[in-house]
Amino acid sequence: MKKIFSIALMLLTALSMSLNAEAKKKEIAFQMYSVRNLIGDPGKYAQNHERTLKELAQMGYTAIEAANYGDGKLYGVTPEQFKADIEAAGMKVLSSHVGHNLSNDELKSGNFDGALKWWVQCIEAHKRAGMKYIVNPGINFPKTLAEAEVICKYLNKIGEMVNAAGMKFGYHNHSHEFNKVEDKVWYDYMIEHTDADKVFFEMDVYWAVRGQVSPVEYFNKYPGRFTLLHIKDHKEFGESGMVGFDAIFNNADKAGLKGWIVELEGSNRPNIMDGMKVCADYVKAAKYVKPTYDK
């Protein structure tokens, strides 16, 4: 009897440990641009997506941020098929990078009704794909504050449309947004002249550092505005010493963080997938990274 009890206890302990490990599994999204050489366009996607996505899921990635939308499709397939492909690999659809710049005439006149028409199909397609967030990956750099005002009104209007479809709309930076328009830093102006309930910011922490600013200082200056983050280094995580990931994640509450995305633009490894595994292993081992921020 004691032996049976001991075996049962061991099985229960093993099951408990397994469930606990599963509960603590970290949510790790990745930007599909990272593996653009494998699945970056419709042709490559059709040929390689099954193997590539499954391999990334096995590394520990749990969600995707897309980067190829056009004419109602993502990577050349219908929104429904794209969602099914991601889920078949064991991941979920989180967000998508997509944008539509204003013309010079629209910037000058302040009438961007034509540009908003472009967004109707885009938003509808992303809703069908199951996206939670649509993120503009970059927009015109304004020459004047008058143009900056028009762009912010445009972003607010897109945010209204995206909200009405049950999703959230955000803006992703590079380094040039930290330059000035007249006497104002463009990134600051953008944050201050967009409505928090219509436009969030997906700070790319690497490009912020390259723009010679501190991500944490921005979290403190504009608390709650940074719903998503691009977690990125010069190449693989932690190898450049440029980005203080611990400080960034330790200030996630101040930022307003709900999710974060790995992006790898280049690799020191022979194969980009090796680099993706290095990044996944880095954040899985980082004690300062919580299992989830979407509460």
Residue 106 in this model has a pLDDT that exceeds 90:
yes
Could you please report the per-residue DSSP string of 250-294?
HTHHHHT--EEEE--S--SSSSHHHHHHHHHHHHHH-TTS-S---
Angle formed at CA 77 by CA 59 and CA 50, multiple of 5 degrees: 30
Residue 150 in this model has a pLDDT that exceeds 50:
yes
Query: Which of 196, 194, 204, 214 has its CA nearest to residue 256?
Result: 196
Average pLDDT, the chain: 93
What pLDDT is recorded for position 16?
40
Residue 186 in this model has a pLDDT that exceeds 90:
yes
pLDDT (average), residues 242-269: 97
pLDDT (average), residues 107-116: 97
Q: Among residues of the chain, what percentage have pLDDT more than 90?
A: 92
The type of residue at 260 is W
The H-assigned helical ranges of 129-234 are 145-164, 186-192, 205-210, 215-221
Residue 203 pairs with which residues in a beta bridge? 229
Q: CA 276 to CA 60: how far, in whole Å? A: 10
Give residue-wise pLDDT tens across range 193-223.
Answer: 999 999 999 999 999 999 999 999 999 999 9
pLDDT (average), residues 51-73: 98
Query: Which of 100, 101, 42 has its CA nearest to residue 66?
Result: 42
Residue 17 in this model has a pLDDT that exceeds 70:
no
Tokens of 262: 């790995």
- Please give the residue that has the higher pLDDT: either 37 or 295: 37
pLDDT (average), residues 52-77: 98
* Residue keyed to tokens 């397994």: 18
Domains, the chain, with CATH or none = 29-285 (3.20.20.150)
Q: CA 277 to CA 39: how far, in whole Å? A: 17
CB atoms within 10 A of CB 169: 25
Quote the DSSP letter at residue 96.
E
What pLDDT is recorded for position 98?
98
What pLDDT is recorded for position 142?
98
Quote the DSSP letter at residue 224.
T
- Please give the residue that has the higher pLDDT: either 44 or 19: 44
Least confident of 15-19, 99-103, 161-165, 190-194: 15-19
Residue 2 in this model has a pLDDT that exceeds 80:
no
pLDDT (average), residues 126-132: 98
Residue 8 in this model has a pLDDT that exceeds 50:
no
Provide the pLDDT confidence category of residue 103 given band limits of 50, 70 and 90.
very high
Provide the pLDDT confidence category of residue 295 given band limits of 50, 70 and 90.
confident
Strands (E), the chain: 29-31, 63-66, 69-70, 73-74, 92-97, 133-136, 168-172, 180-181, 184-185, 200-204, 228-231, 259-262
Q: Under DSSP, is residue 87 helix (H, G, I), strand (E, B) or coil?
A: helix
CA atoms within 13 A on the CB side of 188: 14
pLDDT (average), residues 172-183: 98
